[in-house]
Amino acid sequence: MHLVAATDEQMGQRDALTYSEWGKLLSPEGYAAREQRLRAHPWSRADMRTWLLCGEDGGVLASCETFRTSSFLRTAGGPLDPGDSFAIASVFTEERLRGHGYATRLMDLLAAELERQPRAHAALLFSDVGPRIYARSGYQALPAWDWHLSPTPGDPRAPVDTLLREDALGPALGRLRQPEVPFFFWPSPAQLDWHLERGRIYVEHLGCSLPPSAGATAGASTILWGLVGRSAELTVLMLDARSPSEGQALLEAARREASRSGLSRVVLWEEPSHAPLLPLLQGEGATRVARDGSLPMVRPLRPGLPLSPLLPAPRGLWV
């Protein structure tokens, strides 16, 4: 078995096979168009590859995608050492080929390929099948809890200083504090816009509206959100709450934006830095649940990479 990068034709062939797994709400033709549109996005064009595990006869046994994303190591003196990490998505084996360990072999060969990249730090994936399969290939699971917040009526502008537009993702991302951990992932504005592109694709199928805003600021605190997939939810992509009161104001704005856009709820992925904010979330219309799928898992791609148990994996990193 060997690993190869897929051609455009082979990507289209995989789309036809993966429709049954990830084509919810779309026709096969609509799903193929979705995949082409997402691959045409600037972030994908620059940083995405599709990989095939092939047998000796050249037949495809399994496949996945990788997206290059930025990551940083804190050196002994404190400065940040930038590097490349790789988010892994769409790991797929046809049903007739399952049970032979092909997904594990794909992950092992892919890790060896990524380790050869000169600036490689780590691989990141979000498992929908639990931790066991990927743990075989050296991936470590991170905690995965969600907060579901009910929409509330009112003007989203009232609790905050400003609502943010989609064209302000870059400056807004620059306002966020980077995590105080030895190693962390960090998305780009194009990566966050890729999430919003998914919402632009799905909105016509969901019976709701695209949120007019992409986040908000309150004091020194910032939140970024969006309709980002095939559920009518307002998903928090990034949240930097400098104080509990500012964080509460940002989430109240999100709940009001969800109501204004006809969305069913706000979904916040819990991060270690949210701990001071959590007591204020507990109450009517707020529920903490163990995440169903999208379990974050990390595999170092260089010896000695420090993985803190407090490593954040916000929704903005998901692929």
The rounded mean pLDDT for the chain is 96
Per domain, the residue ranges of the chain are 2-143+293-317, 145-290
**145-290 shares the fold of 2-143+293-317:** yes
Mean pLDDT of 210-218: 98
Distances (CA, A) of 190 to 173, 228, 271, 311, 314: 11, 14, 22, 22, 16
What are the tens digits of pLDDT across the range 295-311? 999 999 999 999 998 99
Fold of 145-290: Aminopeptidase (3.40.630)
Cα gap 193→174, rounded to integer Å: 15
Give the pTM: 0.95
E strands, 159-240, where?
162-164, 183-186, 215-218, 221-226, 234-240
Q: What's the pLDDT at 300?
A: 98
Burial class from Cβ neighbours inside 10 Å (0-12, 13-18, 19+) for residue 247 reads: buried
Residues 210-223 have a mean pLDDT of: 98
- pLDDT digit string (tens) for 116-142? 999 999 999 999 999 999 999 999 999
Give the pLDDT band (50/70/90) at residue 283: confident
pLDDT at 213 over 80: yes
Quick check: helix, strand or coil at residue 131? Answer: coil
Average pLDDT (88-110) is 97
Q: Which H or E run contains 95?
A: none
> Which pLDDT band holds residue 317 (cuts at 50, 70, 90)?
very high
- Rounded mean pLDDT, 71-78: 86
Q: Which pLDDT does position 115 carry in this prediction?
A: 97
Topology annotation, domain 2-143+293-317: Aminopeptidase (3.40.630)
Q: Return d(Cα 306, Cα 233) in angstroms, integer.
A: 34
pLDDT digits (tens, 9 = 90+) for 177-203: 999 999 999 999 999 999 999 999 999
| Average pLDDT estimate for 107-117 | 97
Q: What is the pLDDT of residues 15-57, one digit of tens each?
A: 999 999 999 999 999 999 999 999 999 999 999 999 999 999 9
Tokens representing 62 are: 């399994």
Residue 281's pLDDT is what?
Answer: 87
Do residues 242 and 197 make contact, with C-beta atoms less than 8 angstroms apart? no
- pLDDT, tens digit, for every residue of 238-277? 999 999 999 999 999 999 999 999 999 999 999 999 999 9
Question: Band of the pLDDT at 293, cuts 50, 70, 90?
Answer: very high
* pLDDT over 80 at 78, yes or no: no
pLDDT band at 282 (very low <50, low <70, confident <90, very high): confident
Q: How far is it, in rounded angstroms, from Cα 87 to Cα 26?
A: 25
pLDDT value of residue 77:
74
Task: Tell me the pLDDT band of 284, cut-offs 50, 70 and 90.
Answer: confident
Q: How far apart (Å, rounded) are the C-alpha atoms in residues 226 and 267? A: 10
pLDDT of residue 188: 97
Q: Residue written as tokens 């959590």?
A: 278
Could you write out the DSSP letters of every residue in 205-223? HHTS---S-SEEEETTEEE
Distance CA 295, CA 141 (A): 7
Cβ count near 172 (within 10 Å) = 22
